Structure 1
Amino acid sequence: MARSAAYGALGQWELAGADAKECVQRNPKFAKGYHRLANAQQQLGHRAEAIATLKAAQSSATDPEKVPGIKKLLRQLNQEEAAANPAAGSAQGGGRQVPTHIAKELQELQPKFMNVKREVEQIDAKLAAYARQKKRLALVEKEVAELPEGTNTYRSIGKMFLQTSTEENAATMKSDQKKTDEQVASLEARKNYLNRQKLSLEENITELLAQCST
């Protein structure tokens, strides 16, 4: 199961899904296994399969309520499915005909929601990369600080290495750290804006779906 999570963190969703599927087959009562599998299926664009997996978790797994992500992901996928295919969503909800204006609004909202969601995921990936970069810089900075004064060090520039003093290297790393912090702050601000936009779109979709069921 930990291996599936590791594959997911690396964006290797096919491997993550295969590992999670094996986990579910071995232990059909393990709720988190279903959640990992559905998440991988969603990332691969297999929305219907992900919905089926989460429904299986609710009926087969032990205490699926202890994995809050199951309900949340299922609700999100159902919203996406209904927005992408409002006629099908109506049929499942009792055969009511979706008003044309609601169907049109849902079809307009769905790609907007998916675009925002995709950009948030891209930002998360960049933030994770910057976090690793900051850790590496902090480690190197600590090692350089422990070197005797006047020791020559090397700084990479593309595929080349430039000999520099420890002081110059430390100054360069501080500058790099500052640039990284600025980029992280910019990404965080963008992510916060997108999350507000995403929440607003989710609320709009939920409201439209509620109108279809009344």
Structure 2
Amino acid sequence: MSIPNEALQKLLQEIEQKAAFSQQQIQIVKAQIAAKNRESRMVQLTSSELNTLPKDTNVYEGVGKMFVLNPTEDVKTRLATETNELKSDISNLEKKLHYLETTYKNSRDNLEQLFKASGSR
């Protein structure tokens, strides 16, 4: 069974576009994962610094252009929540990255199959 040249070209173009889009999205997701990892590391460092302070110490947190005095326990609770959210975000981004990499690989495999099929004509 042979595919007409026009249909083959259209199919080839669609697969190439899908592969290019997947590749762009892979780069974006990798950058997002790196940013979330940096943010997670900052939260972890802040939390470890807070753990070295005495329990009754109050700390200042930046809110917009001002600073607010908060007890360390409140800040630790906020940091723990933020850590859990970041872990969840990173996990979701890794799933998305895996999906995009699979899509990209499948597109490349389909392109190779098309070239082999059209070359054997």
Match runs of 1:24-103 below 5 Å? 99-103=5-9
Distance in 1 separating the partners of 2:64 and 2:107: 43
Is 1:125 matched up with 2:9? no
1:176 alignment partner AA: E
Match of 2:54, SS state, is coil
Is 1:146 matched up with 2:79? no
Match of 2:97 among 181, 187, 191: 191
User: Equivalent residue for 2:13?
Assistant: 107
In structure 2, stretches of 5+ residues that fail to align are: none
TM-score by length of 1: 0.52
Equivalent pairs: percent with the same residue?
A: 24
Shift of residue 213 of structure 1? 2.4
Distance in 1 separating the partners of 2:66 and 2:12: 53
Q: Which has the higher contact order (CA 8 A, sep 6+)?
A: 2
Paired residues in the alignment total 117
Distance in 2 separating the partners of 1:112 and 1:104: 12
Distance in 1 separating the partners of 2:92 and 2:54: 37
2:90 alignment partner AA: V
Larger Rg: 2
Is 1:162 matched up with 2:37? no
Shift of residue 161 of structure 1? 2.1
Q: Deviations over 1:130-169 (max 9, x none)?
A: 1111111111100100001111111222333221111111
TM-score by length of 2: 0.89
User: Equivalent residue for 1:35?
Assistant: none
Distance in 1 separating the partners of 2:66 and 2:16: 48
1:122 alignment partner AA: I
Distance in 2 separating the partners of 1:152 and 1:99: 73
User: Equivalent residue for 2:43?
Assistant: 137
In structure 1, stretches of 5+ residues that fail to align are: 1-97
Summarize the Cα distance change of 1:207–1:159 in structure 2 as closer, same or farther, 3 Å threshold: farther
